[in-house]
Amino acid sequence: MKKYRVLIVEDERRIARFLQMELEHEGMNTAIEDNGRRAYERIVQENYDLVLLDVMLPDMDGFTICRKVRELSQVPIIMLTAKDDIDDKVQGLDIGADDYITKPFATPELLARMRVVLRRQESQREAKGAQEEILSVKNLTMYPARHEVQVDGAPVELTKKEYDLLEYLLRNKRNVLTRDQILSNVWDYDYMGDTNVVDVYIRYLRQKLDDRFQEKYIHTMRGVGYVIKD
């Protein structure tokens, strides 16, 4: 399953933390932003699958953020607001929000609405017939949309972590990645273990790829980290 990346834009820390816990519990990746202007910058620069957007925020309000984001991006946005004023709802949808939910809300309802918006986004993406993304090195091909890896056209079974690690290496092909970079991008950023886990998983990947197919995909840069290259 795809791990959705969700930005929670909310300046009430308690609510933001609560949402974060609930969404992470659902298997999503989350980040919190409490400032309107920074939120706008992050939404257009970083690649989120969905944004939960509070209306009343310091520096820039949620309606303004939504309107400005829509000039550049179709990222799904669900507005959150304390006010249940019907005018707000109309305004939220007018400016291009995908949905709108009033505080206080029940978590199952929010999750249900998020799923609707995410599904709609995916089917639109499919309908567009967008070229399927392909990542590759040598005779190895990854299809992120299908979560599949093939070598010479034959499928390779990987665990979730092995897949995530390989995807991160492929997305940074030819760039040497340090253990810390790998750890913070493939494991949760607050993972408390040591970086040995990276070496362990690199070894697993090498067993399933390099050893099995007699190819050198993953190179060790001694004292630095790892790189995947043709």
* Cβ 56 to Ca ion shortest distance, Å: 4
| Rg over CA atoms, the chain | 20
Amino acid (1-letter code) at residue 190: D
Smaller CB distance to Ca ion: residue 16 or 218?
16
Nearest to Ca ion of 54, 162 (CB atom): 54
Closer residue to Ca ion in complex, CB, 26/61: 61
Nearest distance, CB of residue 57 and Ca ion, angstroms: 6
- Distance in Å, CB of 14 to Ca ion, minimum: 11
Q: Which is nearer to Ca ion, 19 or 177 (CB)?
A: 19
**11/199 with CB nearer Ca ion:** 11
For the segment 76-95, give every residue that binds Ca ion (CB under 5 A).
Answer: none
Distances (CA, A) of 15 to 10, 20, 150: 7, 8, 43
- The rounded distance, in Å, linking the Cα atoms of 136 and 151 is 10
| Contact in structure between 49 and 78 (CB atoms under 8 Å) | no
**Amino acid identity, residue 170?**
L
CB of 98 to Ca ion, least distance (A): 19
Structure tokens at 106: 């029940």
Count CB-CB contacts under 10 A for residue 132: 10
Among 56, 60, 111, 197, binds Ca ion (CB under 5 A): 56
Number of residues forming the site for Ca ion (CB under 5 A)? 3
Site mask for Ca ion (CB under 5 A), range 36-55, x = bound: ------------------x-
Chain-centre distance of CA 137, in angstroms?
23
26 lies in the site for Ca ion, by CB under 5 A:
no
Determine contact, residues 48/5, Cβ cutoff 8 Å.
yes
Q: Give 49 or 54: the residue with its C-beta nearer to Ca ion.
A: 54
Q: Can you say whether the dihedral through the CA atoms of 107, 19, 79, 184 is positive or negative?
A: negative
The stretch near Ca ion (CB under 5 A) out of 56-64, 72-80, 114-122, 175-183 is 56-64
CB-based burial label for 130 (10 Å; 0-12, 13-18, 19+): exposed
Pattern 4-23, Ca ion, x by CB under 5 A = -------x------------
What residues have CB less than 8 Å from 213, skipping those under 6 apart? 139, 140, 151, 152
Binding site for Ca ion (CB under 5 A): 11, 54, 56
